[in-house]
Every structure is written in C-alpha cells, then in structure tokens.
Amino acid sequence: MRGLVVARSAARRVEVRRPRVLIVDDLGYARDALAELLRSAGYDVAAVGSGAEALDALEQHGADLVLSDIYMPRMTGWELAHEVRARGVRNTRGLPICIGLYSALLSGFSREQLTRAEVDFAVTKLTDPDAVLDAIERALAWSEVR
C-alpha cells in the first residue's frame, strides 16, 4: 500500500517554474551581487554586462523580467527599456516583459518619467535587498494581471 501512496503523490507533483530574471550591469561586482541575491531567493537568473548583450540574451533565452542598471556606456538602462518595448519582447508566458531599472542615484526620477519610459519599477542599487526583492515580486505579480 505504501508504494501506491508514493506513486500517487509523485504523479501529482507539478514542476514549479521559477521566474527568469535577466540582470544587466556593466559593473561585474554589482551584477554578481544582485545575481546571488536573486538566486538565493529562488529566481532563475542570467546576467550580462551591456544592453546589446541583454537584447541578444532576450532573443535567445527569453526572460520574465529585465533588471538593468540605468547608467551604462553605449546603451543606458533607459535606452534598453525603450528598445525592449519597441521590439515587443514578451516574457516566457507570452505577456509583456517586466522592466526594472536600478541605480545608486535614483533621486529625481518621477513615477511619470518611469511610466513614459514604459518601465515597471525602479529601485536603489544594492542598498536594501528586501526592497529589490519586493519590487521584483510586485512587478511579476502585476504582469500576470495587466
């Protein structure tokens, strides 16, 4: 009888898909720290060092959320967000992808600017890990209902 119960419970197991987050930051230490934080929270994480690499990674592997540094050479986080929206990039479930920006200097950005840039959220870089995780969770939950 025990074998039957085990077989039934194994048959009912459903693989839970972890949300895939693509981190974009030209600073390796910041990229690595953020990747470690998100992995420890259970996210499937990919990390790249530039906007161009991010666009390639999205095309090849997809993601549910992009979290990009704002200030990067060649392509800023704002420019990356614009390009992702212009290309109509979808998440792994076919919904519009979530975009978050982060920087050590976030003062001066209004909700209106973020909305105009089609950015879902912004957080301060590496100062409050819980705030980063909360922002990501809220953005992913919101993406399911919009």
Domains identified in the chain, total number? 1
Angle value at C-alpha 91, between 74 and 29, nearest 5 degrees: 45
Each residue's pLDDT tens digit, 119-138: 888 888 767 899 899 999 99
What is the model's pTM?
0.83
The H helix count followed by the E strand count for the chain is 6, 5
Domain assignment of residue 12, yes or no:
no
Separation between Cα atoms, residue 22 and residue 61, nearest integer Å: 10
Q: Which residues span the domain enclosing 79?
A: 19-145
Q: What is the CATH number of the domain that holds 110?
A: 3.40.50.2300
Q: Is residue 8 part of a domain?
A: no
What's the pLDDT tens digit per position in 4-33? 444 555 555 555 678 999 999 999 999 999
Query: pLDDT at position 19, please?
Result: 93
* Within-domain flag for 26: yes
Query: pLDDT tens digit string along 45-95?
Result: 999 999 999 999 999 999 999 999 999 999 999 999 999 999 998 887 888
